[in-house]
Amino acid sequence: MAQPLTHNQRLLHWVNEMAQLCQPTQIHWCDGSEAENSHLCNLMVQNGTFTRLNPDKRPGCFLARSHPSDVARVEDRTFICSARREDAGPNNNWADPAEMKNTLRRLFQGSMAGRTMYVIPFSMGPLESPIRKVGIELTDSPYVVANMRIMTRMGREVLQALGDGDFIPCLHSVGAPLKPGQTDVPWPCEPDPAKKYIVHFPEDPSIWSYGSGYGGNALLGKKCLALRIASVAARREGWLAEHMLILCLTSPQGKKYYIAAAFPSACGKTNLAMMRPTLPGWKVTCLGDDIAWIRLGQDGRLYAMNPETGFFGVAPGTSQNSNPNAIATINRNTIFTNVALTPDGDVWWEDMGVPAPASAIDWQGQEWKPGCGRKAAHPNSRFTAPAAQCPVIDPDWQRPEGVPLSAILFGGRRPSTIPLVNEALSWEHGVFLGSACGSETTAAALGKAGVLRRDPFAMLPFCGYNMADYFAHWLSFAQKTDPAKLPKIYFVNWFRKSDTDRWLWPGYGENGRVLKWICERVEGTAKAVSTPIGNLPTPDALDLSGLNLPAEDVQELLSVDKSGWLAEVNNIEEYYKNYGDRIPEPLLRQLAQLRQRLQ
């Protein structure tokens, strides 16, 4: 056993107790050093978990292939075990905490036999941040260690900052103990989906994850701690833990506007976070692409911070065209999972924007050729890359106190009804818009295309408590400060289509035109027209110079379809019924007022 790097008695006792339960062959305390990382990566190359990529093309990069049963977050095996079922809410799977702990103890008994238990000290947020949280993840997966080193502040300095303080215990096992002499496999995991568990105990707080080695199921700092556990802590401590990107838009005059944005999956979040605006003189820098922790500053404004240090991005669809800055970020020191391997030792995936190789090894390790009828990369294949490598990373992305927000955006993939951009009439109305967030599913996602799935605040899978109480927490900020100091709230929709199924808006870098209007609204200079749903740009208020957008398309993008909106109101009303009488009164009032204005 490597020497513990701490004198924290509670931590030493817990590690000892979990080692007795899981029975690892040895314990390694991670120091986060370059030497340690190099050793673990070499070890994984020897074990077949990692393939080292061509150092001339991608220095310091590796490819991993997971077991076919272990390729994504497993929502149906994710649990919130609060003491009372109603506190978890209809948005979560609930189980009795005592019963669940008994189940998990049986599974973890001897689960790390024949393996090393790695002790990963990590911090979500800069160590000096007033709201940083320290977690300790125990895992039997070196793949998790290598990814956590990219995604979080990890190692010796975290233990030094922790001292004798409190931490969040996070226990993880791939659930594949080794008998003496048994040969290991490249991707050990529990193949039976019914035996995978990702469990949160918000009252402890603690996290137990068993059976999966993939992404957010195993990198417990990400969705588990930074959203599900942090959202509960944030409500108690008076801040917000959100599934939001943070960007800075700088005007040609050098004025900075910080914007946070929440979109459900497949709505271009990472693309917006690193966008290259097409408007001359405007510039976007990225502070984070996935998670924002937002607190009230002493001046009464909201300040946002990215608690992570890396990007865990979806590879397919990431291209020079859709996101050139992401492509530049992942050219070195990156871990790729479930993409294709080319004969020259590089990676490839669908919609990468470069021609498919004549042959490749696909994500399952099989020989692959174009036209063979299979995808070369898994649709949820990923890259884990250091945020510091992003060419447009903002100089203030690690500011412990965060950056002051000018605006908050919500959005979704909506082919009809929802206009290009809509400004909320008040904080309360903005929270109402966030609560009604939704996206239409694509055929690839759920078999049946065009089904509207509500995903309030893009937090449905990530809120660690009853969503109705979450809405109330958001509403409470208008009482905590002068509402005039709160960010303005907007709803955007890049995905509006014509009757003939044609995209009406070009998207990508052109979205900077919408952000420009939002910043001008923050300044009080941009024109808007008052409508029943909120304030919309007048057709001449959007800077469309050089776009050649037909006038009728602009009219359609900025129109209010009253019958569509009345149907929307009925749909939101039905959705609210899931939460019974816990839905805050102000949201029901907003719904009634919207119906009245439309009629």
Q: Please state whether beta strands 245-250 and 283-288 pair in parallel, antiparallel, or not at all (unpaired).
A: antiparallel
Which of 571, 505, 578 minimizes the C-alpha distance to 544? 505
**How far is it, in rounded angstroms, from Cα 329 to Cα 311?**
9
Is 360 within 8 Å of 377 (Cβ atoms)? Answer: no
DSSP H helical ranges for 443-584? 443-446, 467-475, 477-480, 511-523, 551-557, 562-576
CA angle 462, 466, 467 (to 5 degrees): 65
CA distances from 394 to 117, 286, 301, 303, 403 (A): 36, 5, 20, 15, 11
The upper half-sphere exposure of residue 43, i.e. CA atoms within 13 Å in the direction of its Cβ, equals 14
Q: Please state whether beta strands 292-296 and 302-305 pair in parallel, antiparallel, or not at all (unpaired).
A: antiparallel
> Can you name the residues that pair with 314 across neighbouring β-strands?
382
CA angle 229, 233, 234 (to 5 degrees): 110
DSSP at 184: P
């019958």: which residue's tokens? 563
Token reading at 273: 């976070």
**How far is it, in rounded angstroms, from Cα 341 to Cα 351?**
15
CA distances from 534 to 27, 87, 424, 430, 558 (A): 58, 33, 5, 10, 11
CB atoms within 10 A of CB 102: 10
Whether the link from the prior residue into 55 is cis, omega within 30° of 0, is no
Q: Choose, from 41, 267, 390, 463, the residue flagged as catalytic.
A: 267
Could you tell me which residues come within 8 angstroms of residue 23 by beta carbon, excluding any fewer than 6 positions away? 109, 110, 111, 112, 113, 177
**389-414 per-residue burial string, b: 16 or more CB within 10 A, e: under 16:** bbebbbeebbbebbbbbbbbbbbbbb
The upper half-sphere exposure of residue 387, i.e. CA atoms within 13 Å in the direction of its Cβ, equals 30
**How far is it, in rounded angstroms, from Cα 524 to Cα 488?**
11
**Has 267 been annotated as catalytic?**
yes
Q: Which amino acid, one-letter code, is at 325? A: N
Which of 149, 175, 150, 186 minimizes the C-alpha distance to 44? 186
**CA quadruple 207, 208, 212, 218: dihedral sign:** positive
What residues are labeled active site? Answer: 267
